[in-house]
Amino acid sequence: MRQMKLGLFLAPGGHHMAAWRHPDAYPAGFSIDSYIAVAQLAERGCFDMMFVADVYSTTRDGGRQDSFRFEPLTLLSALAMATKRIGLVATATTSFNEPYNVARKFSSLDHLSKGRAGWNIVTSSSTVEAYNFGREAHRHLTDRYRKAHEFVEVVRGLWDSWEDDALLIDKERGLFFDSSKLHQLDHDGAEFSVRGPLTLPRAPQGHPVLVQAGSSEDGKGLAAKYAEVIFTIQRELDVAQAFYADIKARVISFGRDPGHALVMPGVMPVVGRTRQEAQDKYAQLQALIHPQAGLSGLSRTLGIDLTGVDVDGPLPPIDIAQLPQSRAVGMVETARRDDLSVRQVYERLLVSKGHRQLIGSAMEVADSLHEWFEASGADGFNVMPAMMPNGLRDFVELVVPELQRRGVFRKAYAGATLREHLGLPKPGA
């Protein structure tokens, strides 16, 4: 029977924009104990993986909880030692990295975690990030994705520097590795010149799992060619079904198995033992939103200065073609369709980073996830608890058992690697 996939989108205080202000929220800073507790709780819930996003800059408004963040590979290496089964996925941008470094870091994480690593491929969009790398602006979107394609090819080539059985460590014969099973890359392309080989034997998974986040045309093209997991923002089932069908068709056009490209929309659940309890929890979080934080966050997401805008009036005229990412496009389109005020945009959409909100009893939340799963709207979900740790605990203790009762989610891990959890084959060398 087809099984639903679940990822935990890791955020220390929670994903609701005001969650960090909740008295029960984990600190939104640097407590490794908090991260370990969350990772172990997700593993207890048999989640396939946990995911760490990354941006190479602080936010302009200092009151935001996500102004500060650990370097994700460092964080996941620490969490690898505190967990045994759950997959470990981190973001690394192709805009401000070199392929050799990325290949080496993720291969290292795969070795250290015994086959649980995954790379979330992004191209970045924030001008503030560009400033930290000596640039005044990003390259054009199409150029960034052209570079990303070559970047991924180089990384995959470096991961194949060594064949699976190249490492001998034969003390009797004095042979550490079989040099005939070492392959030099010698890549010379438009963006990169990389000789290789990688300084590590082949990773336990062959290649760490490739993940892609983004729903633009360029993003879908990258996902269809390479990604084994696709994170996406989808709020309506019919739109999600169209996205799902489009991605699967594109994957097939590249000669790939559509079952090896798993679509996982983000969802922000607020779960109660009753619907009223869930609504009360959500209302408590909504009451913590500071208006200036809402306006500043929306300005940052849209890449537009909204200072002085009437929050109870409509969004000002916005050229969708100039927006920085598909998340921003979706927010503006929804605001126009539903005639939302600026305040309603940040209270209804920005609070969950543009993702779908599920507010209700465990049965109702499970019903919604099950419906999308069965209706070809998703292969699974990237779960974004509104508040940590309580939101994750509610999901693990209330929703997961209901999904297990229906037979659509595992009761125990059957494999040890992330590829085994996701039903993905190990790439040949």
Q: Does 319 fall in a domain?
A: no
- 359-375 tens-digit pLDDT: 999 999 999 999 999 99
Domain count along the chain? 1
Provide the greatest CA pair distance for the chain. Answer: 79
**Size of the chain in residues:** 429
Q: What is the pTM of this model?
A: 0.90
251-257: long-range contacts, CB 8 A cutoff, minimum separation 24: 251/224, 253/224, 254/224, 254/225, 256/224
Q: Check if the beta carbon of residue 237 is closer than 8 Å to that of residue 371.
A: yes
Tell which residue, 264, 190, 191, 257, has the closest CA to residue 224. 257
- Taking residue 310's Cβ as centre, other Cβ atoms within 10 Å add up to 11
* Cα–Cα distances in angstroms (integers) from residue 86 to residues 31, 115, 158, in the given order: 20, 10, 25
Q: Does 60 fall in a domain?
A: yes
Q: Kindly report the CATH number assigned to the domain that includes residue 215.
A: 3.20.20.30
- 115-130 tens-digit pLDDT: 999 999 999 877 777 7
Q: How far is CA 22 from the centre of its chain?
A: 24
List CB contacts of 273: < 8 A, sequence separation 6 or more. Answer: 361, 362, 398
Q: Check if the beta carbon of residue 149 is closer than 8 Å to that of residue 223.
A: no
Q: Does 321 fall in a domain?
A: no
Q: Does 328 fall in a domain?
A: no
Q: Does 302 fall in a domain?
A: no
The whole-angstrom separation of Cα 349 and Cα 372 is 20
Q: Does 24 fall in a domain?
A: yes
The domain in which residue 126 lies consists of 5-278+354-422
| Alpha-carbon torsion angle 123, 124, 125, 128, nearest 10 | -150
pLDDT tens for the 429 residues of the chain, in order: 899 999 999 988 899 988 988 999 987 566 899 999 999 999 999 999 999 998 877 765 444 555 578 999 999 999 999 999 999 999 999 988 999 999 999 999 999 999 999 999 999 877 777 778 877 776 777 888 999 999 999 999 999 999 999 988 989 999 999 989 999 999 999 999 999 999 999 999 999 999 999 788 999 999 999 999 999 999 999 999 999 999 999 999 999 999 999 999 999 999 999 999 999 999 999 989 887 777 777 877 787 888 878 888 888 888 887 777 777 888 888 888 888 888 888 877 777 888 999 999 999 999 999 999 999 999 999 999 999 999 999 999 999 999 999 999 999 999 999 999 999 999 988
Tell which residue, 216, 89, 221, 228, has the closest CA to residue 148. 221
Place of tokens 């946990």: 50
Tell which residue, 426, 427, 419, 425, has the closest CA to residue 48. 419
Q: Tell me the three state secondary structure of residue 269.
A: strand
Q: Does 112 fall in a domain?
A: yes
For residue 213, give both structure tokens: 């986040």
